[in-house]
A and B are shown apart, each in its own frame.
Chain A
Amino acid sequence: DGGITQSPKYLFRKEGQNVTLSCEQNLNHDAMYWYRQDPGQGLRLIYYSQIVNDFQKGDIAEGYSVSREKKESFPLTVTSAQKNPTAFYLCASRRTETYEQYFGPGTRLTVT
């Protein structure tokens, strides 16, 4: 059963702690993306990776970091430098032949 998995579904952290969100895909897609969804703001691109060992900043990369050591995995770390980390985080991957992106179920992060 192909798809994108994100874990955990809900995550709670104290302010000042770094936290890593997992994203795994078995669709054999080269490109992967991280978005942040806030009410009334749509989805905003945090980071993206078009190939293993390479990634680029999106529109709101400050306070986040990523790695892409394997094609299947694109973890996102929310660092303590992110001023407003509480949000819904979505991971996506893209078929090479098209611009269509496939999304995971998301992780809701709450930082208090």
Chain B
Amino acid sequence: AQSVSQHNHHVILSEAASLELGCNYSYGGTVNLFWYVQYPGQHLQLLLKYFSGDPLVKGIKGFEAEFIKSKFSFNLRKPSVQWSDTAEYFCAVTVGGATNKLIFGTGTLLAVQP
């Protein structure tokens, strides 16, 4: 079965530190890739997405992610985090394009200390 792995369950950083959150998926065919963010008390919202084309995608609030097909990875990055980035981050994948089902990773809780 297809799955998404987020190896960092809980990350603590100081403000201005760089961030990289790992995401790996298990599926050999066509995928669409997403990062969602859930700020405390807010809706889950889309941070960025990859469908095709340039494997380096830029999202909101200075986030970016790189799709590396050979590694089945879609890691999220931000060069300098802020306290307001404290949130839970979810990687998600749709596979095959047929059913439009999103498969989510288990999430990474990021705490940024001022």
Contacts and interface: CB of A to CB of B under 8 A. Distances in A.
A58 B104 contact: no
Nearest to B92: A43
B43 A103 contact: yes
B43 A105 contact: yes
Interface of B: 4, 6, 9, 32, 34, 36, 42-46, 49, 51, 90, 92, 94, 97, 99-107
Contact of B51 (A31, A33, A41, A99): A99
Nearest to B1: A59
Nearest to B32: A99
Contacts of A2: none
B105 A42 contact: yes
A59 B106 CA distance: 15
B100 A31 contact: yes
A68 interface: no
Nearest to A41: B106
B9 A40 contact: yes
A100 interface: yes
A105 B9 CA distance: 23
Interface string A48-65: 101000001010000000
Among all A-B residue pairs, the 5 with the closest Cβ atoms = A103-B44, A42-B104, A42-B106, A43-B104, A99-B32
